[in-house]
Every structure is written in C-alpha cells, then in structure tokens.
Amino acid sequence: MANIGFIGLGIMGKPMARNLMKAGHTLTVYDVVTASVDEVAAAGANRGESSSAVAAVTDIIVTMLPDGPQVEEAVLGPGGLLEGARKGAIVVDMSSISPMVSQKVAAACAEKGVEFLDAPVSGGEPKAVDGTLAIMVGGKKEVFDTVEPVLKAMGSSVTLTGAVGAGNVTKLANQIMVACNIAAMGEALVLATKAGLDPEVVFNAVKGGLAGSTVLNAKAPMVIGRNFKPGFRIKLHQKDLRNALLAGESLKAPLPLTSLVQQILMALMNDGKGDCDHSAIVNFVEDLAGIEVKKPA
C-alpha cells in the first residue's frame, strides 16, 4: 500500500480521498478549509499543516483543486509541496486545468527531481463517491505504471493519453462534448414541452436510440425533476470551456460550439446560477422559451 498525500478536499476531493483510505492506503491530507480536513481526518487520515508538510511525509501527492492558479500556488508557491517534496516523489494533479499550466508545473517539478502526471477526471460527484471516475492521464509511462494501482482506487477507467498535458487536453475534449450535449438536450426538451408533450415520455422514447448517451441518462431526469443540486457546478464547467478555448486559440483550432455554450454558462453565472449543476444549462433555453421542462400538471 502507498503512502499518499492529498491536497484539496472539495466536492470531488473528499470522496476520492475516502476511496484511497478504503483501498488501504495511508493518507495525509491538507485543505485551506479546516472543516474539510477535520472531516477526512475523522475518517482515518493524518493531518497536514500545509502542502509542503504533506509532501515531506509522502511518496505520491495528489492535488484536486479548482483551477490552474490554485495548482500553481499549491505546488510552486510559498509553503507549496515542492518545498517539502523528496527527490523521486510523484505529484499527480487531478485538477481540470489548462494543459499549458500542467506543462509549466511539470517542468518546475522536474528541476527538483520530482515526477509529475496530469490526471483530470470525469464523472462528477456520484462517480467520485462510487470510485468509478474516468481518469485521463498525461506523463511518462513508467511513472503512470507506478501510480496506476492508486488511481484505480478512485476510477474504473484509467487511461494514459500521452505526454504531460495530454490528460488535460483529453479532459477538455470531454468537457466540450458534455456541455454541448446538455445544451442540445435542453433545446430538444424545451421544444417537446412547448409542443405539449411530456418531456419524460420523450426522454424515454429517445434514450435507446442514437440520441441516447450517458449525459442524457444522467441529466434529463434531473431537469425534469427540477433538481439542480450540484454534482458539477456551472462555474467550474465555464472554467473548463474557457481553458478549452484558450487551448484552441493556441493551436489555431476553431471551437464555435464551445464558444457559444461558454457564453451561455457565463450568462447563467450572471443570473446567480454558478453553483447550480451544469444541467442548469437548460435554464438558459427555458428562459428564452418562457417554459419549464417538467411533467404536465
């Protein structure tokens, strides 16, 4: 069993850390929110007083943070894990960030003799709890081989996608498909509801055909049930699409649909819905149509 550090105990990080402990790994944790550390420590984890302190006593350090600036601060900043990490340690950043930031952090780690993988995840809170996340990894194969058993305690699908940065490019591709799928689902169900149909009947009619998808199966019932409790927040998906557009710009890859949905997400944030589940993308279309997607009264 591995001696693991875990930095970042939010909606995703907390259940991921619990699954590592369930698999028998020794865990030392840190988060800027003390209550989150208290909760995971009560379940059996050791406390770390800083990112540096966590790195000083562990061999593999996992970070699960909101965006690139937080990853840079936790790894490279004062009190960051590179101050405490031992030569030969492995940093596994499971945050969803810009691939360019992943490469910058990896280069800084390499200067200190520390290995780095970017390993963002897909599946949201339910799959984080179940330990069935899809994990997309970028980095050296020999480092991936070392860490793969640890990752399999958190995910049912663990794939090496290329060099450092490739994990986050793959995650951005995933986020484009998910966001555009939810937006298209919203338009379809708004049309059906506006036409007087029961959206649940329409959902059940199409889910077994070509339009069926994991996104449809997960998100249509939430919309029809008017449940927008976050499994993955609007504001985080907006951040991911912003990173996708920045990557697209640097690679000269036009992403017109991504741009449109990212603007929808920003409008929803301005409407106070940034902490809603990303299924609330449908709310934007509902507002345009003046109707809610729900079962007829």
d(CA 114, CA 55): 11
Q: What mean pLDDT is predicted for residues 213-233?
A: 95
pLDDT at position 240: 94
pLDDT at 275 over 90: yes
Does domain 3-163 bear CATH number 2.60.120.260?
A: no
The total number of residues shown for the chain amounts to: 297
Q: What is the mean pLDDT of residues 133-158?
A: 98
pLDDT of residue 296 exceeding 90, the answer is no
1 pLDDT above the threshold of 90: no
- Give the tokens for residue 131: 């330990």
Average pLDDT over residues 113-125: 95
pLDDT at residue 129 is higher than 90 = yes
**Mean pLDDT score, 58-62:** 98
Task: Over range 226-238, report the average pLDDT.
Answer: 94
Model pTM score:
0.91
Active-site annotation, residues: 171
Q: Which of 74, 100, 214 is nearest to 164 (CA)?
A: 100
User: 169-289, superfamily in CATH?
Assistant: N-(1-d-carboxylethyl)-l-norvaline Dehydrogenase; domain 2 (1.10.1040.10)
Q: Where are the domains of the chain?
A: 3-163, 169-289
Instruction: Give the whole-angstrom CA distance, residue 81 versus residue 53.
Output: 7
Mean pLDDT of 258-266: 98
Average pLDDT for residues 78-89, to the nearest whole number?
A: 96
DSSP lists the bridge partners of residue 7 as 30, 63
Band the pLDDT of 228: cuts 50, 70, 90: very high
Calculate the alpha carbon distances from 66 to 10, 151, 196, 199 in Å: 9, 19, 41, 34
Rounded Cα–Cα distance for residues 289 and 291 (Å): 6
Instruction: Read off the pLDDT of each residue in 161-185 and give the average, rounded to a whole number.
Output: 97
pLDDT higher than threshold 90 for residue 196: yes
The residue-averaged pLDDT of 118-130 equals 93
φ, ψ dihedrals at 157, nearest 5°: -130, 115
Residue 127 scores a pLDDT above 90? yes
Question: Which residues fall within 8 angstroms of residue 279, CB to CB, at 6 or more apart?
Answer: 182, 219, 222, 223, 228
124 pLDDT above the threshold of 90:
no
